């Protein structure tokens, strides 16, 4: 028995074209992802989300990168402008867990109001002195304990807000000294050390419904990037104990070598459930959807469980949440 198409795809513009609708109807992707080019007004965003769900003929998750700070697709006046997550956590000090909960509870509220019901967060990578600048201030802390506490707060905030969180970048990206958008990072740290540091936050949050892979080589595990490594995927399933839906990071990033179709096939063979393809032309999207194929029975169950994790949002008093957050942050909340 086959399931949804094993992809998450995107749109070229503010509404789906006729060709995109036809492709999505045929490929039946698990879900979609939005970028800045897809965003104009609230009504337009809701209409685009409706287009996407209508194209596949069913309910599906629509995700986005709305971390706050540098990685934030929705900007003012559509959404609050947040400082970088690491700066936010450091400013909140001992109240960081509550402050991060409130921050992402407000973000979840903004997303749901626009028809978006997933977010690529929490980011559970541990910041280090050598972490590449593309990632460092997107992290939540410099120790496993800090990252676990704040990641759990972020995940709970999303779930309470009716938004499905995507845990990233499993099994850890904090040791990368290269930007995987352009190069393939290599980590030579012994596995015993990784177990007590990088892997720990993902083990602590292994109950979350979805996770995104890291395009990074852990030489103690395999010579291949984690996204393309059956050894790394096996370690994620067994040692980390993550049994949710695993999606790749964007396979168009330069860290991965080969054609998009080859990368899609290799990531699926390695054990990834879903292939994320961003910023590609229509023929490439069609080819990747074909190469990725449908979810198998286990992947389909994980996909259905991920969708079921999206609950009706709990009530939220916006003014009270903002006032509490301002008090915790000493008055400086937004940039």
* pLDDT recorded at residue 96: 98
The pLDDT confidence band at residue 95, using thresholds 50, 70 and 90, is very high
Contact by Cβ (8 Å): 260, 287: yes
Contact by Cβ (8 Å): 322, 99: no
The tens digit of pLDDT for each residue in 106-127 reads 999 999 999 999 999 999 999 9
> Using omega within 30 degrees of 0 as the cis cutoff, is the peptide bond preceding 152 cis?
no
The pLDDT confidence band at residue 332, using thresholds 50, 70 and 90, is confident
Per-residue pLDDT at 1 exceeds 60: no
The tens digit of pLDDT for each residue in 133-184 reads 999 999 999 999 999 999 999 999 999 999 999 999 999 999 988 888 889 9
The tens digit of pLDDT for each residue in 216-225 reads 999 999 999 9
Which residues are identified as catalytic? 181, 249
The tens digit of pLDDT for each residue in 143-156 reads 999 999 999 999 99
- The reported pTM is 0.96
Distances (CA, A) of 216 to 75, 190, 224, 249: 30, 15, 8, 11
What is the DSSP secondary-structure string of 124-173? Answer: -PPP-TT--HHHHTTSS-SSHHHHHHHHHHHHHHHHHTT-EEEEEEET--
Q: Which domains does the chain have, with CATH numbers?
A: 5-328 (3.20.20.300)
Query: Mean pLDDT across the chain, nearest whole number?
Result: 96
Mean pLDDT, to the nearest integer, of 301-316? Answer: 97
The tens digit of pLDDT for each residue in 226-245 reads 999 999 999 999 999 999 99
Per-residue pLDDT at 2 exceeds 80: no
Q: CB under 8 Å to 49, separation ≥6 — which residues? A: 62, 114, 115, 116
Backbone angles phi, psi at 328, to 5 degrees: -65, -30
The rounded distance, in Å, linking the Cα atoms of 254 and 6 is 21
* pLDDT recorded at residue 182: 85
* pLDDT recorded at residue 180: 84
The rounded distance, in Å, linking the Cα atoms of 143 and 96 is 14
Q: What angle do CA 2, 242, 169 make, to 5 degrees?
A: 100
The number of C-alpha atoms within 13 Å of 141 and in the hemisphere containing its C-beta is 22
């Amino acid at each position: 028995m086959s399931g949804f198409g094993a992809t998450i795809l995107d749109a070229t513009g503010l509404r789906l074209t006729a060709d995109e609708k036809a492709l999505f109807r045929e490929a039946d992707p698990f879900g979609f992802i939005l970028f800045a080019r897809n965003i104009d007004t609230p009504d337009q965003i809701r209409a685009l989300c409706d287009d996407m769900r209508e194209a596949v003929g069913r309910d599906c998750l629509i995700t986005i990168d709305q971390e706050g700070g540098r990685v934030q697709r929705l900007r003012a006046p559509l959404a609050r402008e947040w400082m970088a997550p690491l700066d936010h956590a450091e400013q909140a000090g001992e109240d960081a867990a509550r402050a991060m909960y409130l921050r992402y509870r407000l973000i979840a509220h903004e997303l749901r109001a626009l028809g978006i019901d997933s977010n690529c967060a929490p980011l559970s990578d541990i910041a280090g002195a050598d972490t590449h600048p593309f990632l460092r201030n997107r992290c939540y802390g410099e120790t496993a304990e800090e990252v676990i506490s704040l990641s759990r707060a972020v995940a709970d905030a999303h779930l309470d807000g009716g938004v499905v969180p995507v845990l990233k970048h499993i099994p850890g990206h904090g040791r990368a000294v290269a930007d995987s958008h352009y190069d393939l990072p290599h980590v030579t740290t012994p596995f015993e050390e990784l177990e007590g540091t990088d892997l720990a936050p993902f083990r602590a949050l292994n109950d979350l419904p979805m996770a995104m892979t890291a395009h990074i080589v852990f030489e103690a595990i395999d010579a291949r990037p984690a996204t393309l490594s059956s050894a790394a995927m096996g370690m994620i399933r067994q040692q980390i104990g993550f049994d949710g839906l695993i999606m790749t990071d964007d396979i168009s990033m330069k860290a991965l070598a080969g054609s998009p179709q080859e990368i899609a096939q290799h990531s699926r063979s390695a054990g990834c459930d879903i292939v994320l393809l961003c910023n590609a032309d229509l023929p490439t999207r069609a080819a990747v959807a074909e190469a990725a194929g449908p979810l198998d029975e286990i992947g389909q169950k994980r996909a259905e469980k991920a969708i079921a994790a999206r609950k009706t949002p709990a009530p939220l008093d916006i003014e009270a949440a903002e006032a509490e957050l301002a008090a915790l942050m000493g008055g400086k909340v937004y940039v």
